[in-house]
Chains A and B, each alone.
Chain A
Amino acid sequence: MRGKVAVIGVGMIKFGELFDKSLETMVQEAYLNCLNNVDKGIDPKEIKAAWFGQWSGGFIGQGAQSGQSLASFIGNRDIPVTRLENACPTGGDTFRHACLGVASGLYDVVLALGAEKMRDKPAAESLGGAGGGGGAETGNHPAWMIGQGGPAIQALHATRQIYELGHTM
């Protein structure tokens, strides 16, 4: 594979609880922001494949979508979509696979998009329940799973980083 890959447009929406927005609305707003960000514009039908990153839809209330739902959300039902779920690295890995799609020469233009609808469940389930985080050990040890959760595990990392590198909050 010798193909070079370029990011030609990016789009994001403001993060928040967003009780008034559905997963579809969030996806569509980010997607339209991305299209509008492309220099000199783009015909959306040039997008020939997509990767849909979701940390874990089933756990946190948005439902485990198929990748193909993204194709419907963006009105481009003919394209293949892979839904990619890979814990915290989901976003980076989704982007990596989209890059491989172009670098391989299979596609000229692809979409990488990630979305999480986290707050349709109570915080104890959506935030506390979220995140294995600790990797191979934590997810294996029953006592280590008690009283943890994604935010706590990230906070443990942050404390150590502040200690070692002198960062401030």
Chain B
Amino acid sequence: MTQPAPASPVYWRFNPEVFRLIGIKCNDCGHISYPRTMICHECGSLNLEEYKLAKKGTVHTYCVNWAPPPNFEPPITPVIVDLEGGGRYQGLMTETATPEDVKVNSKVEMVLRKLITDRGLNVYGYKFRLVEED
């Protein structure tokens, strides 16, 4: 897909999602939809309430991308994370010594980072970093 330009209205429209992690929880089936939606993606229910995603979770899946889109230095490590309490978040790893440190089930947490500099503008959002296992 094409990355949105930093000045795109999509960043303004999804500000609550991007910076406050606001999603939707279905009062009928419990499914968490994120970004927010008027109709539960899982069961079609309209009985929904806002739900704030947790910032911690475990890696559901990952890959190492050696041919990333423009404005990235390879390699980058995209991940999909199962969050504590439910919901998933897709993002990029940060602060890994090597991409090989990331595995399925690795414990991670969100940190606010600059995602990209594009056309002279910075775009911020959450990335994931590994957390120490107890």
Residues of A within 8 A of B (CB): 59, 123-124, 127-134, 136-153, 155-160, 163
Contacts and interface: CB of A to CB of B under 8 A. Distances in A.
Size class of the contact patch on chain B: 35 or more
A141 B18 contact: yes
A157 B70 CA distance: 23
Interface of B: 1-4, 8, 10-11, 14, 17-18, 33-35, 41, 60-63, 65, 67-70, 72, 76, 78-80, 90-92, 104, 115-116, 123, 125-126
Contacts of A160: 60-61, 80, 104
Given A143-B18, A159-B62, A151 B67 contact: yes
17 contacts: A127-B67, A129-B69, A133-B1, A136-B41, A139-B1, A144-B91, A146-B69, A146-B125, A147-B76, A148-B78, A152-B63, A153-B78, A156-B62, A158-B63, A160-B61, A163-B61, A163-B104
Given A124-B69, A124-B70, A142 B10 contact: yes
B35 A137 contact: yes
Contacts of B123: 142-143, 146
A124 B2 CA distance: 10
B125 A143 contact: yes
B10 A147 contact: no
A86 to B, nearest CB: 15
Main secondary structure of the interface of B (DSSP, over half): mixed
Given A128-B67, A148-B90, A156 B1 contact: no
A147 B1 contact: no
A160 B116 CA distance: 27
A163 B104 CA distance: 8
A124 B63 CA distance: 17
Q: Which 5 A-B pairs have the closest CB atoms?
A: A155-B63, A143-B125, A160-B61, A128-B69, A159-B61
A158 B78 CA distance: 13
A155 B65 contact: yes
Contacts of A137: 33-35, 41, 90
Given A140-B35, A142-B8, A132 B1 contact: yes
Nearest to B18: A143
A159 B61 CA distance: 6
Nearest to B15: A142
B86 to A, nearest CB: 14
A142 B11 CA distance: 6
Contact of B78 (A123, A127, A147, A163): A147
Contacts of A142: 4, 8, 10-11, 14, 18, 123, 125
Contacts of B79: 156
